A and B are shown apart, each in its own frame.
Chain A
Amino acid sequence: MAIGWYLTVSALIFCIGASGVLTRRNPLVVLLCLELMLNAANLALVAFARMWGNEAGQIFALIVMVVAACEVTVGLGLIVAIYRRNLPIDVDELHELNG
């Protein structure tokens, strides 16, 4: 099976994730979309690893998973913190860090 299909699926998932990040205002959904983007990248990495027949791509994929887990932890922590302070759970409302 040619590598093209794997990459097509990967690109599709990445675009879905990216458009989700750009369009959705709920931080929880933004996080989910980020996960989608990361996993799209993982899929591409594993596909490349298979194509070359070595393990480097797989190891990259594993590291990306670890990073993703960390990122989700921090992101969820932020969301809980926002919730506890009774702030709006909406990324457009939270824009105090403007210039």
Chain B
Amino acid sequence: MSPTTFGWLVLLFPLLGCIVIGLGFKQLKGRSSGWIGTGAIALSFAASLGALFSLLGRTPAHREITSTLWSYASSVGVDAKLQILVDPISVFMILVVSGVSTLIHLYSVSYMKSDRGIVRYFAYLNFFVLSMLVLVLAGNFVLLIVGWAFVGAASYLLISFWYRRSTATRAGIKAFVINVVGDVGLVLGTFFIFRDTHTVQFLATFKDIHHVYHKDSTDLVAGCVLFLVGAFAKSAQVPLHTWLPDAMEGPTPVSSLIHAATMVTAGVYLIVRLHPLFELAPTAADVGAIVGCLTLLIAGSIGVVVTDIKRVIAYSTMSQIGYMIMGASAGAYSAALFHLMTHAFFKALLFMAAGSIIGAMAGDQSLDRMRGFRKALPFTFICFLVGGLALSGMPPFSGWLSKDDIIGYLSHRGGLFFVLAIGGWIGAFITGLYTFRMIFRAFFGDPCPEAQELEHGHLAHAEVPRNPMNGEVEDTDVGFPGPEHVIAEREWPMRIAMSILALLAVVGGFIEIPGVDHVISTFLAPSFVGSKLAAEQPSTKDAWIGLIITPILGLAGITIAYRYYIARVGASTKLQERFAPLHNFLVNKWYFDELIDLVVVRPALMAGQLTESVLERVVIGEGVTGGVVGAVRAGSAAVRRAQTGFLRYYAAAIILGLSCVALYFLISST
């Protein structure tokens, strides 16, 4: 079978899964919907592997294949087709997306077992995977926008999945609104490009691009900046990032799948996919790289003070995606995708392990209450440690090789990019700090009551379920997390999913070691044939120098975390008091929410109130509607006089009228 046939199969299975689960919600009992969903995504992964092998069977020059099922519309020059593009980038992405999604579906089968909305959950989850696969397989801008918007919608559905919680529904709305800002950027960017190239297909656009634009032409830069707006919103980059921490209201596997491993990487994918445009618009690419660098530092600094375990991981996701955006914008395409892959492994793993701890804490997510889970949750501890070491870039874990691949490229390009590389190194230090702060606080020290109970084989159980965010007592109808909590130690599907990811988090990086092997860059090379930036790579020696510097900085961060959270307990509180203004600044997340509130939300609200009081009430209510009513009323009052009710008047009127008509005809006939 050809690679494109496999490509269509990749899309078919999640679609079928979504339809079957969605329509069969009354018949599917217990965990059956979970198994159907997992099976569908596993088949999709198998088809992705098929696409990979059939692509490898071709010569490198023939590895970009498009296939069209049908044409939506072909008018005014828009050739909108249901078209997929199978090339190394998209195959790489479908492998990562479907592979990680399969494991997270498997994990969810256990994690969501006591939730009465489990069928709805798996229908949404399959829909999400379908959307993401449409996004990465799209062969033209139109289908890309479709996938992009679907992903946003699926994210909204899953964030507000526990819709009994007001906090969750509000977070869902926030995510959706910010994502729509990104959608607008993507659509407008497409218009900008389409206006000059007259095609929406990727390959045709890339072929023409050098004839249409000269370097840094205004239209192209504007289009690329608009694409970046889309990428920033989807990938949670400053200043459109505020939705991601709030999105942690969703179930933990959702955070793992959507807000760590797949959806938020769509922005990175977009930049890599459109790299010919960005290379011709270096100004826009620089904007992307700088924003990525700022995000990784800002998110890292917030991650150091946040006390909600899922939010710490969320900020670390933002920070790591900052690395990828920075790398992809600067030209380190295969490095960015490599980091995307390893990040998907260890970040999904960290979220899964966090889900297990939250289960042990009976739903509580606060790091302030977690202590000493090392003995109570040995398996979770090992997984969390593996994920944490990979995240902080310790050798030989996967994050070490992939993160430094990006920083090494940046320092090799020099100039502005060397400054960004320094940002990346500072980020590596902060990463080690916040990751191990989380690990030391949750797993080390004297066990907290929940951990002690668990050591005696008893899982803590909340008497009255409360929303961990605001402490409200929960409505326990459908749309609530379910009464039972789960930990990985007692559920084999969770253990299998986490073990595989832990293994991948360790060995996943070994396929690309400078000077040893280069599986990923070789595989992706056909997609970057025409790219000057991709050809520039640091020498093996430089790469190894970086590979030594980065873990040293990470280790410094870990050491500081050790000093403050293990060696000298209580020192962190003193530090907090000493630098109270800074701490407040970080706890309030650099006041980004307040800034957006002041700049966007309040003016919009005021404009809305103004139009309500002036336009709606006065102009429309009293002017237009009231005016029409008055005119009709006055007119009918005038005519009403004729209706006397006297039969003989009517008869007289008829006779008079007919006589007049007869007279008229008589006179005009002579």
Contacts and interface: CB of A to CB of B under 8 A. Distances in A.
Interface of A: 18, 21-23, 25, 30, 91-92, 94-99
Contacts of A22: 648, 651-652, 655
Given A18-B655, A22-B652, A22-B655, A91 B641 contact: no
Contacts of A99: 639-645
B644 A98 contact: yes
Contact of A95 (B640, B641, B642, B646): B646
Contact of B646 (A18, A23, A92): A92
Contacts of A18: 655
Closest 10 CB pairs of A and B: A99-B643, A98-B645, A95-B645, A99-B640, A91-B647, A97-B645, A21-B651, A95-B646, A98-B644, A22-B652
B567 to A, nearest CB: 96
A91 B645 CA distance: 10
28 contacts: A18-B655, A21-B648, A21-B651, A22-B648, A22-B651, A22-B652, A22-B655, A23-B648, A30-B647, A91-B646, A91-B648, A92-B647, A92-B648, A94-B647, A95-B645, A95-B646, A95-B647, A96-B645, A97-B643, A98-B643, A98-B644, A98-B645, A98-B646, A99-B639, A99-B640, A99-B641, A99-B643, A99-B644
A37 B642 CA distance: 26
Nearest to B647: A91
Interface of B: 639-648, 651-652, 655
Contacts of A23: 648
B326 to A, nearest CB: 79
Nearest to B648: A22
Contacts of B640: 99
Contacts of A95: 644-647
A83 to B, nearest CB: 17
A25 B646 CA distance: 10
Contacts of B647: 30, 91-92, 94-95
A21 B655 CA distance: 10
A94 B315 CA distance: 85
Contacts, number: 36
Given A22-B655, A92-B646, A92-B647, 5 more contacts: A21-B648, A22-B648, A25-B648, A92-B648, A98-B646
A84 B647 CA distance: 21
B180 to A, nearest CB: 55
B634 to A, nearest CB: 14
A23 B651 CA distance: 10
A95 to B, nearest CB: 3
A95 B443 CA distance: 94
Nearest to A96: B645
Contacts of B651: 21-22
A98 B646 CA distance: 8
Nearest to B641: A99
A88 B648 CA distance: 16
A99 to B, nearest CB: 3
A1 B658 CA distance: 30
A58 to B, nearest CB: 24
Nearest to B656: A22
A98 B642 CA distance: 9
A38 B141 CA distance: 78
Contacts of B642: 99
Nearest to A34: B651
A76 B328 CA distance: 95
B486 to A, nearest CB: 76
Nearest to A91: B647
Nearest to B655: A18
Contacts of A97: 643, 645
A98 B648 CA distance: 13
A95 B650 CA distance: 11
A43 B655 CA distance: 19
A91 B647 CA distance: 6
Contacts of A98: 643-646
B112 to A, nearest CB: 69
A22 B649 CA distance: 8
A30 B644 CA distance: 19
Contacts of A91: 646-648
A41 to B, nearest CB: 12
B655 to A, nearest CB: 6
A73 B642 CA distance: 29
A87 B648 CA distance: 18
A18 B652 CA distance: 9
A91 to B, nearest CB: 4
A95 B648 CA distance: 10
Contacts of B655: 18, 22
Nearest to A92: B646
Contacts of B641: 99
Nearest to A33: B651
A95 B646 CA distance: 5
B639 to A, nearest CB: 8
A79 to B, nearest CB: 13
A60 to B, nearest CB: 18
Nearest to A18: B655
| Most chain B beta-carbon neighbours within 10 Å: one of A18, A94, A96 | A18
Contacts of B646: 91-92, 95, 98
A98 B647 CA distance: 10
Contacts of B648: 21-23, 25, 91-92
A44 to B, nearest CB: 13
A97 B646 CA distance: 8
